[in-house]
Amino acid sequence: MIQAQSLPHIALPRLGSQRDWLWRGWQIRYTVARSPHDTLPLLLLHGFGSALTQWHENILPLSQAHPVYAMDLIGFGVSEKAATTYRVGLWVDQVYEFWRVFIRKPIVLVGHSLGALVALSAAVAHPEMVDRLVLLTLPAARQEILPGWLQSGIGSIEGALTTPLLIRPLFRLIRRPGVIRSVLRKIYVNQERVTETLVENFLQPGFDQGADRAFCRLAQARTDTDFSRATQDLIKEVNVPILLLWGSDDRVIPIDWGKRIDALTGHQVKLVEIPNAGHCLYDESAEPVNRAILDWLAAENGNKAG
């Protein structure tokens, strides 16, 4: 483990104590917020294109009741922009190894969007690691969106569009404050939350060494049907309680998909709709989200005790 005295990028006190960890030769950024209570630890996993900084309104409030860990998935945030094949399975391996090194007891995995898919996949692959799941919007796998007869044709088109020759100029265009600000304003319902600090959090990782190469590999990976197993198959294999949190006005992954997932599952899943929130509900509606998580965990503890 590497502990840096002066860490690059934004280091807000609300993000806990940030450190670096060497995994498979790659530098991984993570943070820890200790708790006065000896309760189930929480491990927070961010969404696609984001980083642990997205949890700046959640880490300290949640740590009042539980120890909280968060990390930058490989390829994102301050973690290394590795020249590797990106799959959900790679991030599952990262999460599992982190757990084995630093935690070593059952945890609550909390994931948003891509992080929710990683958390769900990790619970299936390593059931001994996960006591409960909190999923803030859960995306469908590619094969659930496209009919089988369309996948090969669309895949060929996407393959041509995700070559480095085209992706690198696109990446340089996206890596501008005005572009990022515009995208965030389309995703956020509450426009006041689109601050310069938020824009900077998304902007900075794009200037890291190897960022353009990692972006190309990530773009290509998302077009592959083996990027992840089907969400609907995965969720049927989980044997732990699940809290599904969804923004009522999510325009990226509408809540109708969350209701479909809820209908597929049994009594172990609880779907909670967060009113007046979009895709980034953890930020736009941090207080209701934090309260929903803590109340659900306390209720589950009561159920176990009973």
Tell me the CATH number at 284.
Answer: 3.40.50.1820
Residue with tokens 């090194």: 101
Q: How confident is the model at residue 286, as a pLDDT? A: 97
The parts of the chain modelled with pLDDT lower than 70 are 1-13, 145-171, 265-267, 302-306
Smallest Cα–Cα separation from 118: which of 168, 59, 27, 43?
Answer: 43
Q: How confident is the model at residue 242, as a pLDDT? A: 95
Q: Which domain holds residue 95?
A: 13-146+227-305
Number of domain units in the chain? 1
Q: How confident is the model at residue 198, as a pLDDT? A: 92
In 3-state terms, what secondary structure has residue 7? coil
User: Using an 8 Å Cβ cutoff, are 155 and 223 in contact?
Assistant: yes
The answer to the question of residue 29 being in a domain is yes
Cβ contacts of residue 125 below 8 Å, gap of 6+?
A: 89, 92, 96
The answer to the question of residue 7 being in a domain is no
The answer to the question of residue 267 being in a domain is yes
The answer to the question of residue 165 being in a domain is no
Q: How confident is the model at residue 304, as a pLDDT? A: 66
Q: Which residues pair with 23 in a beta bridge?
A: 26
Kindly report the pTM of this predicted structure. Answer: 0.89
The answer to the question of residue 294 being in a domain is yes
CA of residue 251 relative to chain centroid, distance: 17
Q: How confident is the model at residue 144, as a pLDDT? A: 78
The answer to the question of residue 42 being in a domain is yes
The answer to the question of residue 171 being in a domain is no
The answer to the question of residue 160 being in a domain is no
User: Using an 8 Å Cβ cutoff, are 61 and 293 in contact?
Assistant: no
User: Using an 8 Å Cβ cutoff, are 137 and 112 in contact?
Assistant: yes
User: Using an 8 Å Cβ cutoff, are 123 and 242 in contact?
Assistant: no
Q: How confident is the model at residue 158, as a pLDDT? A: 40
